[in-house]
Every structure is written in C-alpha cells, then in structure tokens.
Structure 1
Amino acid sequence: MTLLDTESFDDRSILPPPPDGAEAILHDREYRVRAFRLSADRIVLQGAVRDQKPPGLYLRDDPDPLTVHHMKLSVEVAFPSLEIESVTTHFESHPHDECPQITGRYDGLIGLSIARGFTKKVAALFGGPRGCTHVTALLYAMAPVAMQCFWSMKAASAVLDGRDNPMFDADSDERDDMWRSIVNTCHIWDENGPEVAAREAGAPHGIPVFLRGRLAELGRMSEQ
C-alpha cells in the first residue's frame, strides 16, 4: 500500500438505515471530495456531486438508477496560503443543454484563498443566477477539506521523508501553531472554551480520539 492507493478507502454507506415505514427512495445525493499533494507547496482538491433517482422511479422497468446531475470540480491550491491557482469544471450529466455554459464562470475562483470568509465570497460570486447551484454547493463541501490538509501535508511530508509523524509529538512547535488557525471554527475551538484555554495554558495536546481507537485496534497503544 502507498499514499496513492485510491482503492483502500472504506466504501460502505455512511448513512443511517432507512427509517421504519419508508415506502420508496426518492433521491440520492452524493458528495465526494479528495485532496492530493502535488509537492510541498501545492495541493489539488477534486470534488464531485451526483444526484440519482432510483431504478424505475422515472422510467418504468428501467433497471438502473438515473443520474440527473453529475458535476466535477478540480482546484489547484498553493500551500500553505491556500490561494487558488487554477480551476477545472466539468458537467458529466445535467438537465438542460445550456447548463455547461456556466462552467467558465468558476474561473473567477482563481486568486481567492480558501480560508475564513471563503463561503461568503463564493456566495457573492456564484450564488443564485450567477452560478450553478450544484457546483456552488460542492464548493462549500470542498473548502473545509483544504483546511483538513494542513496536518495531512505535514504527515505526508514525514512519511515520504521517512520521519516520524509530527501528530505524535506532543511538544511539536507545528502542533502549537496549528490550533491557532482554527479558533472559533466550531464549538470545540470556541475562543472562550476549555480547549482553547488549555492550549493557551500550555497543556499537552494528546492523541486525537480517532487515532487512539485505531492504535487500540492495531495493538499499538504503546505509541501514544
């Protein structure tokens, strides 16, 4: 297995089971976003949104699902500034002949930084009749992935260089700086909350819950 093994991800459904009494599936919307490292100072975000109707709902006796929307977006981003340098938009499936005419509008993303305030900028540039509602919604889903790449880029650099993952270094200066960039992004990182107070007081970061669980599964608790 390598860091480019795209087949290794868990592909089981992440949805809850159908509700009791459900009579039919009416619609299935799927978002998928993946980020790639190109170099130490460059990442690519690839995203797609797909809307499907179940077999037989629109066309009687049709054995296959019917795809009504399928839009793809690829965004090259400078790192760590997260400034967008290139954009590719493609409509795989769409309801109107004119739908793909809007793809060039998304070149207006070039020069923007995927950081705080990005969603407001996207809404101003592409909201309503200024864009495609599905591509714009996809952008909202893709932006947080760019933020998730900060630690992943550091981890990838460590793996590719044969070094230890800095996530496990409680005294890492990189870890100390990283949390400051996500203050007020969610309830955990409320500037007046206990987590930020602990960081300000110099408390050790500890190992995230998802890593602790995985280490336990692998029988490697000693690495904590």
Structure 2
Amino acid sequence: MIDEVDEWGRRLIHRRTVQCQGFLRADGLWDIEGRLSDSKTHPVTLAEGRTVAAGQIYHGMLIRLTLDDDFFVREVQVGMPDVPTSECRGAAAAYQQLLGEQIGPGFSRRIKTLFGGIGGCVHLTELLLPIATTAFQTIPMARAMVAPRTAQDTEAYRNATGKLINTCHALREDSPVAIFLKK
C-alpha cells in the first residue's frame, strides 16, 4: 500500500486524473484530446482475477475528436490501453456515432442518449464533457487571439462565444460578460 498522508492527516485512496488538450492541425482542423486515468493506493483484484498493484493505472483511456471550425466532429479516435476487464474495449466502437455531430447546445443530452447505460463506457462518456469545453476554449480563442486575426476569425469568435450565453451564472444574459460578448 502507498501511504500518502496529506497535511490534514488524510490518506489518499483513489486518484483520477483528467487531462484535455486542444491542438491546431496542419490541415486547419482541430484535435481535441481527453485522457482519463484511475489508480488506487492499494492493490486491487479485478473481475477477471487480475491484480493491479498500488499506483498502477487500471483505467487508462483516450478520446480524440477532430473538429472543424464549426465544431462538427470529422474524426473520432478512442484508445483504451488500460481497462479493468477486456469487455470494456467493446464499447470503443460506439463512439464513432459522434461523426457528424456538432458540439454546442444539446451536446450533453445527445451524448447521454447515444452512450448512456450499455450504449457506451461511462468513463469515456464522462470524458466527452471536458473535451467539449476544451474545444470552446481552443477553437474560438485560437482564431481570435493566436492566429492572424481576420474579420472571419472575429466573427467565428463572436459566434462561438455567443452560444455560451445563459450556460452559467457568469454568462447569464444580463451579466457584464454577456453584454460584452454580444457587442
């Protein structure tokens, strides 16, 4: 057992790490990639009888969505190198249903419909939400601030950020932030 005790005297039992990144590809498309890993501080015996050592990843998963400027999914790649049971990998192909879908209003409901229950892997499905927010942090911001700025880039930024109105408290329609974004 790994005995990590923090400054408050708590002993760590489980660690989940989620990392998302957004990349501009040479062909002008965007790769939005999410990775999830789970490990325990103690050995775990899994359903198929295999024992995972303390600190060893037993959920190691990746989803990469290739998007266009309008947030339509053009390619889907799923990797599941570390899974608790070989049955888990059977869910990977389901995520090809994302081809042609658009990340935007209603995306959360859509992925729950497509991949809820036995339609997918709960871990991969959960990973799609931070991937979606990473797309909104990547594409419009890069077009507006990093890439050479054109009228088309400015319009794309406004369209993307305008879709965020009323998605949280800070972006409620009458907030200073929303009013600024509507200009």
The question of a shared fold, defined as TM-score above 0.5 by the shorter chain, is answered with yes
**Secondary structure of the structure 2 residue equivalent to 1:189:** coil
Output aligned runs, 1:197-216, within 5 Å.
197=179
Q: Does 1:185 align with 2:155?
A: no
Q: How many residues align?
A: 168
Residue from 33, 47, 50 that aligns with 1:46 = 33
Runs of at least 5 residues in structure 1 that lack an aligned partner in the other structure: 1-16, 159-164, 167-171, 203-224
Structure 1 residues 32 and 96, CA, compared in 2 at 3 Å: closer, same or farther?
same
Q: Does 1:123 align with 2:108?
A: no
**Which protein is bigger by CA-based radius of gyration?**
1
Q: Distance in 1 between matches of 2:146 and 2:35?
A: 24
Q: Does 1:105 align with 2:94?
A: yes
Q: Does 1:21 align with 2:9?
A: yes
Structure 1 residues 175 and 116, CA, compared in 2 at 3 Å: closer, same or farther?
closer
Output aligned runs, 1:73-92, within 5 Å.
73-79=63-69, 81-92=70-81
Letter matched to residue 43 of structure 2: Y
Give 1:196 deviation, angstroms: 2.9
Q: Does 1:96 align with 2:85?
A: yes
Output aligned runs, 1:111-150, within 5 Å.
111-149=100-138, 150=140
Q: Deviations over 1:20-42 (max 9, x none)?
A: 131x2110000011111115741
Letter matched to residue 129 of structure 1: I
Runs of at least 5 residues in structure 2 that lack an aligned partner in the other structure: 45-51
Q: Does 1:196 align with 2:178?
A: yes
Structure 1 residues 197 and 101, CA, compared in 2 at 3 Å: closer, same or farther?
closer
Q: Distance in 2 between matches of 1:186 and 1:119?
A: 14
Structure 1 residues 173 and 93, CA, compared in 2 at 3 Å: closer, same or farther?
closer
Q: CA RMSD in A?
A: 2.6
Q: Distance in 2 between matches of 1:178 and 1:78?
A: 13
The structure carrying a bigger strand percent of its residues is 2
**Secondary structure of the structure 1 residue equivalent to 2:20:** strand
Give 1:51 deviation, angstroms: 0.2
Calculate the TM-score normalised by the size of structure 2: 0.80
Q: Distance in 1 between matches of 2:156 and 2:100?
A: 26
Say whether the 8 Å CA contact 2:39–2:54 is kept in structure 1.
no
Q: Distance in 1 between matches of 2:88 and 2:158?
A: 46
Calculate the TM-score normalised by the size of structure 1: 0.66
Say whether the 8 Å CA contact 1:102–1:131 is kept in structure 2.
yes
Q: Percent identity?
A: 23
Give 1:174 deviation, angstroms: 6.7
